[in-house]
Structure 1
Amino acid sequence: MALVTASPLYIGLMSGTSVDAADAVLVRFSEQGYPEILATHAQPPERGLRDDLLHLSQQVAGISLAKFGELDQRVGAWFAEAALALIDKAGIKAADVDAIGSHGQTVRHEPSARYPFSLQLGSPSLVAARVGCRVVADFRNSDIAVGGQGAPLVPAFHRALFADPTRHRIIINIGGIANLTVLPAGASDDSAHVTGFDTGPGNALMDAWIAAHLKQPLDEDGHWAAGGKVDDGLLALMMSDAYLDRPAPKSTGREYFNLDWLQAQIHSRPSPPIPADVQATLCEFSARTIAQAINEYGPGDEQLLLCGGGVRNAELCRRLQALVAPREMIRTDDYGVDSDWVEAVAFAWLAMRTVNGRSGNVPSVTGASTAVPLGGIYQSRSSD
């Protein structure tokens, strides 16, 4: 049955640092901007694409310009396929969609370089042409252009949905990289009080390590990590990384926290730990860096709302809960937004903001000099 709606529909497309799927979500927003998720779809990448993207994110020097251009088109085709599958599942037409917010696939994020940039693949022109509706893309460079980090961008969405007039909250998004949004009581009325930043690795290092040793894409429920023993010396080396001591605003990615970074830590030890113990240590590292950030930036009595793929890692969540107790830690599902789809919904929301000429960044989070609409708009057809 076709979906009947009087309100504009938006699609959010998102693939994170884990590169496991292009998440597509169809959303209708209320007048207050609250989302109603109407349909979802997760489109896995075609064979070999994930490996090529992971290689590119770590070793740019080994990729030719021809290969780079090819990957941009392949990711665009992947994202378009996800959007078309979502539209078919929802029983609507592309003409019913006001805009697609397409994050793209990040392959390099360098906001602190001499010439700052953030690079996402996934040709928005191709997505617009194949799907048949306009696309908003290249969100991060709009923020970087006005002096920001270009990340994290979801805190504006978190503030709109989860800020409470009387209760402090911290939103914990655990993807390949983990990030926080700190929402003091009353933050919905004053964005200057909102803080957000990348805490460090979420799933990225654990996924990379298990892929290298067990040829599995992820550590299901953290079982491998749970079977190992934390190497305290290795953990201490990891926790001494300079990124963790940098004040916010800050952001990072796989170009920094990757297997090369991990091997450098392991080689600094007098004897290499067994692989299972490294996995246990990585799990503890993710939990501790998140908890450390919460303790540093939270008032101490805040409610913790979790979202992202890391929510499904039971061992990681168990360790994090032990470190942040007695704070209450729950999923965003309890507040009406499925924890698996928060980021995809956020980019649908950012697209809605952009096409209506409204800002999408939070300067107190990214360090930008001003709030601006994010991304460029790619039209699918002429209005003539």
Structure 2
Amino acid sequence: MTEGLTRGTTRRDGETHDGEQLLVGLMSGTSLDGISAAVVGFREVDGRVYGSLKHFVQRPYSGEARTRLAAAMHEGSAREFCRLHADLGMWLGDVAREAMQEAGVHPAQVRAIASHGQTLWHEPGHSTWQIGDAARIAELTGCAVLSDFRTRDMAVGGQGAPLVPMADQLLFAHDTEWRALQNIGGIGNVTLVPPRAASAQEPVRAFDTGPGVVMVDGVTQRLYGQPFDRDASIASSGRVLTPVLQALLDLPYLHEAPPKSTGRELFTPAFIDDFVTRCREAGGADADVVATATAYTAATIADQYTRWLPVVPHDVVVSGGGARNPFLLHCLTGAFAWHGERYGKRVPTVQHFDDLFFDAEAKEAVAFALLGYLHLIGRPGNVPSATGARAPRVLGALTPVAQSVLS
């Protein structure tokens, strides 16, 4: 994928001169870092979808916005939920507009904006809730908006997550080897994709591996008053409390077979408080608590690969905020080596997504742009082998652009 799009390369019908369709993907993840927007061009050749990243922007949440979103995930009134839904729609629309302006793209040149919104509650097997008013995004940007991507999968028995596997399969597979794409956002999730050369019958496997940086950020905020452990400066100065880490590998979620998904509904403030207490009882200082939380994320990823992946991947391509944490990646490499030695399996190579494709921070926004594109061409966006759905479905709900904008 390549960067760069200059004004005038795109017609007003949303098609570039090389036949690409332009979409904007919007993402706000469980880590609550901020909003990501990606301007992406898609085209289909001989049944294969190709994507080209044109421009990408990120806007961090203000302290107030982050506090409101975090609080709403665990408590809140109908009034606050309603107001936050509307406010987030404005924030999302504003970032989408910024991305289009910086890319030199007029709203009329964009087929649609595909917005994931922000998950407030996700209850596998029952329901899911993403906020961020699509109507306000449409009015602010002058573009059609696709949103509410998860509910259709859940309506046919799926988990509603993970949805990024479709992009992992179509855009990021290895030509000849099995590849694991590991996102470490607030929650960790993996997609195991077969090589492009494999039989079309080979299913994609994907599920949430457990915590991403939700626990690392949680203990860092409690103990140091910082939003996250920048450059792992705290964790790298501490020691890993192995008994605490091993005890938490008995977490029931880790013993559940895929398809499965989780979120902040499991890793709550109370869960994090209990983790800190366990570390204190084991004699841990503040830095040890952060180091153990970081190592625990790595340990859960390696544990889940050993338990549930049918093959050892050739490489593990890491993205998300956790990929910026050098201590976490050090622990991850060590955890894979330990599991490989213990079970007599090869050890996968850990690689940065950035080194193979583009800025990893853009990956999920690109993925939802792809889901929007698939909606527009009438192709399913879910991967039933990953979500557990009974059947593939076209995902998303369309909020059309106003006729006054089209005229």
Shorter-normalised TM-score: what interval? over 0.9
For 1:35, give the aligned amino acid.
Answer: G
1:291 to 297, 302, 307: 302
CA distance 1:322–1:271, shift in 2 (3 Å): closer
**Does 1:316 find its partner at 2:328?**
yes
Residue equivalent to 1:237: 247
Residue equivalent to 1:82: 95
Inter-partner Cα distance in structure 1 for 2:210 and 2:266: 10
Residue equivalent to 1:261: 271
Secondary structure of the 1:340 match is helix
Inter-partner Cα distance in structure 2 for 1:301 and 1:239: 22
- CA RMSD of the aligned region, Å? 1.8
Residue equivalent to 1:197: 207
Residue equivalent to 1:13: 26
Residue equivalent to 1:353: 374
Contact persistence 1:187–1:193 (CA under 8 A):
no
Inter-partner Cα distance in structure 2 for 1:79 and 1:261: 30
Inter-partner Cα distance in structure 2 for 1:143 and 1:327: 31
Contact persistence 2:319–2:352 (CA under 8 A):
yes
Inter-partner Cα distance in structure 2 for 1:274 and 1:132: 53
Residue equivalent to 1:38: 54
Report matched runs for 1:49-68 at 5 Å: 49-57=65-73, 59-60=74-75, 63-68=76-81
For 1:222, give the aligned amino acid.
Answer: A
Give how far 1:192 is off: 5.3
Inter-partner Cα distance in structure 2 for 1:356 and 1:192: 24
Inter-partner Cα distance in structure 2 for 1:46 and 1:318: 31
Give how far 1:166 is off: 2.7
Give how far 1:314 is off: 0.7
Inter-partner Cα distance in structure 1 for 2:332 and 2:85: 37
**Does 1:273 find its partner at 2:284?**
yes
Give how far 1:179 is off: 0.4
CA distance 1:47–1:226, shift in 2 (3 Å): closer
For 2:33, give the aligned amino acid.
Answer: D
Q: Return 194-203 or 205-214, whichever deviates more.
A: 205-214
**Which ranges of structure 2 fall in alignment gaps of 5 or more residues?**
1-5, 11-15, 338-346
Contact persistence 1:125–1:380 (CA under 8 A):
no
For 1:23, give the aligned amino acid.
Answer: S
Secondary structure of the 1:282 match is helix
Q: Return 26-35 or 369-378, whichever deviates more.
A: 26-35
Secondary structure of the 1:350 match is helix
Give how far 1:336 is off: 2.5
Give how far 1:33 is off: 2.0
Inter-partner Cα distance in structure 2 for 1:261 and 1:350: 33
Inter-partner Cα distance in structure 1 for 2:39 and 2:358: 13
Inter-partner Cα distance in structure 2 for 1:245 and 1:109: 19
Inter-partner Cα distance in structure 2 for 1:3 and 1:100: 20
Give how far 1:189 is off: 4.5
Residue equivalent to 1:368: 389
Deviations 1:255-312 (A, max 9, x none): 2113211223444574663222111111110001111122231523522111112111
Q: Return 131-140 or 257-266, whichever deviates more.
A: 257-266
For 1:67, give the aligned amino acid.
Answer: E
Percent identical residues: 37
Contact persistence 1:205–1:259 (CA under 8 A):
no
Give how far 1:143 is off: 0.6
For 2:54, give the aligned amino acid.
Answer: L
Contact persistence 1:182–1:298 (CA under 8 A):
no
Deviations 1:149-172 (A, max 9, x none): 000101111011233453111111
Give how far 1:46 is off: 3.9
CA distance 1:24–1:301, shift in 2 (3 Å): closer
For 2:238, give the aligned amino acid.
Answer: G
2:314 to 285, 302, 305: 302
Residue equivalent to 2:180: 170
CA distance 1:23–1:197, shift in 2 (3 Å): same
Give how far 1:191 is off: 5.9
Inter-partner Cα distance in structure 2 for 1:320 and 1:72: 37
CA distance 1:79–1:194, shift in 2 (3 Å): same
Residue equivalent to 1:2: 7
Aligned length: 378
For 1:39, give the aligned amino acid.
Answer: H
**Which ranges of structure 1 fall in alignment gaps of 5 or more residues?**
none
Give how far 1:230 is off: 1.4
Inter-partner Cα distance in structure 2 for 1:45 and 1:185: 38
Give how far 1:2 is off: 1.4
